[in-house]
């Protein structure tokens, strides 16, 4: 029915889908009617995660408005399949539909069209990525301007999420939306960011007052670990935390900590960092994004010699030499935790048998 390229076919086969589920799902899902994710190739998906429903219904330039997106022929096929409770292409073991209805208080769009970033964290990428010119840059810039026109002509309440593939504040492609767009009162934003450019690019931004949530990747509780895991300026990061506190944003900020060999001993310090600034904290497992090789190859390249393998960094693997130490630290922190702002991920606890 859908002609998928190898990448999306791989995603489709990477998780169990509704078509493989032997039981009956009776819950309702509003995602195909309310949620839109746009990926690096400017493909549009009717879900908050393109991995959960990896069926592109078209590209940004195929549509003139949000209404066009949700009423397109491919959208209708997916909407009917989900309304009929088939969930043929949905990752039903991951999205939560088996246990509850999936509801949306408002429309939602996740704009993930640019992987440009001011950092090159070893867990994410091997080299710097920053798009500032060329045909690909011009294509993506055209797409962001089209998305801006969708927002300008959309009157329903909508949540705009920027961005899951890079840092929106570093992106020259996302910048027209940040610097020039005048949002409506019913348009709110979430920023997924490393936090280093918040003050620089948002202080005078027209959308600043409409940002209701920051998800800041920190992966450390001290300068020493931060240099290893992210390579940014700890001093600048803390200056941006102070800026957010000064503007009464602390109740809307979540700091993320991805547990790995170079930072697990920092977990207590990370919790104290969250408490100092009255931020939320999310401590979770390390995903394999294919940046590191799984194990050290026989003839490693220069980058791998310096940065190691996934198995070396994945301290949550039960045969890792530091697994028991990590487990003890996490277990101790969970037992003494009396702060509902700090969350340990379920998968993390599962891997540590906690």
**What's the CA gap between 8 and 20, in Å, rounded?**
18
- Phi and psi angles of residue 145, each rounded to the nearest 5 degrees, phi first: -70, -35
Residue 45 host element (H or E): strand 44-45
Chain segment 210-228, per-residue pLDDT in tens: 999 999 999 999 999 999 9
Extents of the domains making up the chain: 1-32+44-98, 218-354
- State residue 244's pLDDT score: 94
Long-range contacts of 223-232 (CB under 8 A, 24+ apart): 225/262, 225/263, 225/265, 225/266, 228/262, 228/263, 229/121, 229/122, 229/123, 229/258, 229/260, 229/262, 229/263, 230/119, 230/121, 230/194, 231/119, 231/120, 231/121, 232/118, 232/119, 232/194, 232/196
3-state secondary structure of 310: helix
Do you know the residue count of the chain? 354
- Phi and psi angles of residue 254, each rounded to the nearest 5 degrees, phi first: -120, 125
- Least reliable range by pLDDT among 5-14, 163-172, 197-206, 214-223: 5-14
pTM assigned to the model: 0.92
- State residue 306's pLDDT score: 93
Chain segment 84-94, per-residue pLDDT in tens: 999 999 999 88
**What's the CA gap between 281 and 59, in Å, rounded?**
35
Residue 291 scores a pLDDT above 70: yes
**What's the CA gap between 233 and 215, in Å, rounded?**
18
- Mean pLDDT of the chain, nearest integer: 94
**What's the CA gap between 232 and 119, in Å, rounded?**
7
Question: DSSP secondary-structure letter at 254?
Answer: E
- pLDDT-derived band of residue 6, with 50, 70 and 90 as boundaries? confident
Chain segment 231-266, per-residue pLDDT in tens: 999 999 999 999 999 986 656 899 999 999 999 999
- State residue 7's pLDDT score: 82
The residue whose two tokens read 């547990």 is 259
Helix residue ranges, H only, 247-322 = 267-277, 302-307, 310-313
Considering Cα of 58, then 59, then 64, then 67, what sign does the dihedral take? positive
- State residue 249's pLDDT score: 63
Chain segment 154-173, per-residue pLDDT in tens: 999 999 999 868 999 999 99
Q: What is the mean pLDDT of residues 30-59?
A: 95
């Amino acid at each position: 029915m859908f002609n998928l390229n190898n990448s999306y076919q791989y995603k489709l086969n990477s998780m169990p889908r509704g078509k493989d589920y032997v039981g009956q799902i009776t819950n309702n899902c509003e995602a195909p009617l309310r949620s839109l994710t746009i990926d690096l190739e400017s493909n549009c998906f009717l879900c908050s995660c393109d991995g959960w429903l990896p069926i592109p219904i078209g590209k940004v330039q195929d549509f003139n408005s949000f209404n066009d997106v949700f009423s397109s022929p491919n959208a209708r096929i997916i909407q009917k399949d989900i309304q009929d409770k088939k969930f043929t292409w949905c990752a039903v073991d991951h999205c939560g539909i088996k246990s509850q209805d999936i509801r949306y208080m408002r429309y939602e769009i996740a704009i993930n069209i640019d992987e440009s970033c001011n950092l090159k964290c070893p867990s994410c990428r091997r080299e710097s990525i920053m798009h500032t010119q060329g045909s690909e840059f011009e294509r993506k810039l055209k797409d962001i301007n089209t998305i801006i026109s969708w927002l300008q002509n959309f009157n329903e309440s909508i949540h705009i999420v920027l961005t899951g593939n890079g840092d929106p504040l570093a992106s020259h492609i996302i910048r027209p939306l940040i610097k020039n767009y005048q949002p409506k009162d019913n348009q709110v934003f979430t920023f997924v960011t490393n936090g280093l450019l918040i003050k620089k690019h948002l202080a005078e931004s027209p959308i600043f007052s409409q940002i209701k949530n920051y998800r800041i990747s920190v992966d450390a509780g001290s300068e020493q670990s931060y240099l290893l895991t992210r390579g940014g300026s700890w001093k600048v990061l803390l200056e941006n935390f102070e800026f957010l506190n000064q503007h009464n944003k602390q109740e809307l900020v979540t700091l993320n900590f991805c547990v790995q060999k170079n930072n697990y001993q920092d977990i207590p310090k990370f919790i104290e960092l969250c408490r100092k600034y009255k931020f939320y904290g999310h401590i979770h497992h390390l995903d394999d994004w294919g940046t590191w090789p799984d194990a050290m190859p026989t003839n490693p390249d220069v980058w791998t010699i310096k940065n190691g393998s996934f198995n070396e960094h994945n301290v949550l693997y039960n045969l890792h030499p530091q697994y028991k130490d990590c487990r003890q630290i996490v277990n101790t922190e969970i037992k003494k935790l009396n702060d509902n702002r700090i969350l340990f991920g379920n998968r993390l606890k599962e891997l540590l048998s906690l």
